[in-house]
Structures are given as structure tokens and as C-alpha cells.
Amino acid sequence: MNSFFQYFADIFNGVKSLLTGMKVTGRYFFSPWEIVTQQYPENRKTLKMYDRFKGEVIMPHTANNEHRCTGCGICETNCPNGSIEIIQDKIDMPDGKKKRIIDKHIYHLSMCTFCGLCIKTCPSDALAWGQEFEHAVFDRTKLTKILNKPGSSILKDISE
């Protein structure tokens, strides 16, 4: 007799779950003025991505072509699949010390899993998520990007 009641309880729970899921669909079906579907690619010029969107890793630069990257290599170390390479150079300072600067900050988009560990672990907040999402290319080498712009330098208030 117990399995008899369990059978109908399972049917009731299944119908309840179905109706709960269909509530969202029904709301959009009966209120068509709430548009949730984007007409991509027709609206490519007006398309706005959310701030939390993970498009690609970028290195923001100021208007003076300065960035926040110190070349410490923490992002490269924490990347689980080697999507980031930092090529460093050392320059001689007037006081006789050597200062580490980045020559190239290479980002392999084709290998990136968009986990965000490089951005989370960067102590100087030099990396961020970009809004670009169209990455279809015929040549995979075009997915390798140099994040620091040519002639860029580190911000003056960033310490190593």
C-alpha cells in the first residue's frame, strides 16, 4: 500500500516541477513586449554585452599608453593550460640597479578556458575581461595576441 501512495506522490511532484519550469516560459509567451532574444547579427552595431561577460583577456591602457603590468608572472604561473606567456627584459637604471620590464605579454586565445584565474590573481589588476566575442578565424595564429601595446610603459604609481 505504501508504494501505491509513493507512485501518486511521484506523479504529483513531477507535474509540479513541470509547471514550475513552464511558468517562466509562459510569462514570456503571454507578454511579448519583454524581448529576451537578441537578433544577432542584424543588431551587431547596437548589441550591448553585460559587464560580467567573459569575452577575452585584455590589458587596459591609459590615454598615455601606460598599463599596470609589472611583469611579475603570477598570471602566467596560475594559468592552468599555459595561455599566457610573459617575455621580460631587464634595463639598467641610473643608480646601477636593474629593473624588470615586460617586452611582450602574449595571450593565446585558442588555448584559454576563460577560467579567470589570471585576472583574479594579478596583484596589480593589470588584466580584465574584454567585450569582444567574435573570434572566428581561418588561421589559428590570429588568435595569439600581444596584450601590451607597442611603446607602452608601466604606470608611475605601480610598484613591483
Q: Are residues 132 and 83 in the same domain?
A: yes
Give Dmax over CA atoms of the chain in angstroms.
91
d(CA 24, CA 69): 45
Number of residues written out for the chain: 160
| Average pLDDT of the chain to the nearest whole number | 88
State the pTM of this model.
Answer: 0.71
DSSP for 57-86, written as a single string: EE----TTSEE------HHHHH-TT--EEE
Q: Are residues 32 and 67 in the same domain?
A: no
Q: Are residues 14 and 75 in the same domain?
A: no
Residue carrying the nine cell digits 504529483? 12
Q: Are residues 90 and 20 in the same domain?
A: no
d(CA 150, CA 138): 25
Q: What is the pLDDT of residue 43?
A: 86
The distance of Cα 148 from the centroid of its chain, to the nearest Å, equals 17
Q: What is the pLDDT of residue 18?
A: 93
Least confident of 16-25, 39-48, 65-74, 106-115: 39-48
Flag whether pLDDT at 160 surpasses 60.
no
Q: pLDDT band at 35, cuts 50/70/90?
A: low
Neighbours of 73 (CB within 10 A): 14
Q: Which residue has the higher pLDDT, 22 or 99?
A: 22
**The domain containing residue 19 runs over which residues?**
1-37
Q: What is the pLDDT of residue 140?
A: 92
- Looking at the DSSP bridge assignments, the partners of residue 91 are 99
Q: Are residues 23 and 69 in the same domain?
A: no
Q: Which residue has the higher pLDDT, 32 or 52?
A: 52
